[in-house]
Copies of this chain bind each other. A is one copy, B any other.
Amino acid sequence: MSLTIKLQLLPFLNQNRHHAAPTKNITRKQHVSGSNRHNVRIRPEPIYSSNSLIIATTRKLKLPRMQGVRSSLIEPDGGALVDLVVPESQRGLKAVEAEALPKVRLTRVDLEWVHVIGEGWASPLRGFMREDEYLQSLHFNSMRVEGGGGGGGGSVVNMSLPIVLAIDDETKGQIGSSSNVSLIGPDGDCVAILRSIQIYKHNKEERIARTWGTTAPGLPYVEEVITPAGNWLIGGDLELLKPIKYNDGLDHYRLSPKQLREEFDRREADAVFAFQLRNPVHNGHALLMNDTRNRLLEMGYKNPILLLHPLGGFTKADDVPLDVRMEQHSKVLEDGVLDPETTIVSIFPSPMHYAGPTEVQWHAKARINAGANFYIVGRDPAGMGHPTEKRDLYDPDHGKKVLSMAPGLEKLNILPFRVAAYDTKDKKMAFFDPTRSQDFLFISGTKMRAYARSGENPPDGFMCPSGWKVLVNYYKSLQAEEAAQQPVLSA
């Protein structure tokens, strides 16, 4: 493979809410001087192929001068991307140390949070929250950073969800006065050390009320994660003994914020727009993403890259599982509904809270850390039906509004979702036109699942046929499974 050497001289991104386009092209001569003289990046030929929608690693010559590379991507929260995975050379020694420490057993969701924190999605957070961080998150949806440097947000970074680790009385007793503990994954392997720990009370009622704005029974994350958890929280500095792998055939999709930033740089992105989702992609979504790219081009960006970023952690039982969604997303790109050249599909490892306006801030903040400076926000993001009343849990407009006012997110450009629906005249998904509303058909997620479940086809043009087939097959297999689980009635 031949290597080309190329100077990376992207125009500085507009980090301003008002979307002013970059106004001038910055030429090589203007910048190759002074402290920028080492800004030389070694760029491989694109190794992209139609069978591989993403490039999991980028290749570059590891020259000392590379240390000085300044990306033009949006700055991570706190100024530097957190990476808590111990270098390979130290892993043996750390593993021996971990063996001797009191042990805290992790649930699968706890492990997802270890993954999230360890790769820097929650930068500048460097571990599970201590009480000061927890209280700031709970009351202010943000955290003060000593020394500032938050890059646009001053010395405040957004942090809307409490990222905490619960332990029970017994584990607390076992920890005793130790200041470090080791974290044991659900499979029994030691995954991390938590240092300089602090143990404080887990007031579940208050945490739930302030995070969800309700304490009604039936919130998925509450029922599955918080209610069964212990009455103590343990905070501290995290050290991962190795990168988190799931061995589910999807690990190559799990790019860290660092890897994503490298990929955006490799593709010479001058704008990155992120699309968070936990549902299959239909042509309405695609229309929106393609339209966003066109708007960014019109604004003067030369190479906006789409980060199609499905959530990969805990989801509620009736959501489409991750593996099915990833297969569906692949088909959407294979069919050319989204352009593989300007799209990166990757998995966001966070668990889902379904906490509406509070959670959408987390979804946006984590994508800043991955290099996205534009974030698409829809109707009722991270929302769901009220668990006990016949209404949406959140006002569908609150997510967008809260996101646009959230502390620490000033540097992110928020792109409100335009409503797409099925245009029965044109037989395709189109932006809703209120002057001829009778021509439009709204197909909700529930309705889409009902179609797929019954084997009925949605209207032509709702989703690319190969993507639709993935869903139909999934629901068929689900029904077969359910039928097999029915008790056999004996006569």
Contact = CB atoms under 8 A, between A and B. Distances in A.
Interface stretch (A2-10, A78-86, A165-173, A204-212): A204-212
A406 interface: yes
A402 B205 CA distance: 18
Bin chain A's interface residue count: 20 to 34
Interface string A390-419: 000011001001100111000000000000
Interface stretch (A25-33, A133-141, A438-446): A133-141
Contact of A213 (B210, B394, B405): B210
A131 interface: yes
A309 interface: no
A402 B214 contact: no
Interface string A178-218: 00000000000000000000000101011001101111100
Nearest to A154: B154
A421 B205 CA distance: 32
A156 interface: yes
Contacts of A214: 205-206, 209, 215
Nearest to A143: B405
Interface in A108-146: 131-132, 135-136, 139-142, 144
Contacts of A154: 154
A358 B139 contact: yes
Contacts of A467: none
A369 B160 CA distance: 29
Contacts of A205: 213-214, 216
Contacts of A401: 131-132, 135
Contacts of A156: 407
A357 interface: yes
Interface of A: 131-132, 135-136, 139-142, 144, 154, 156, 160, 201, 203, 205-206, 209-210, 212-216, 357-358, 394-395, 398, 401-402, 405-407
17 contacts: A135-B398, A135-B401, A135-B405, A139-B141, A139-B358, A140-B140, A140-B142, A140-B405, A201-B395, A203-B395, A205-B213, A205-B216, A206-B213, A209-B210, A209-B212, A214-B215, A407-B407
Interchain residue pairs A-B with the least CB separation, the first 3: A206-B213, A209-B209, A209-B213
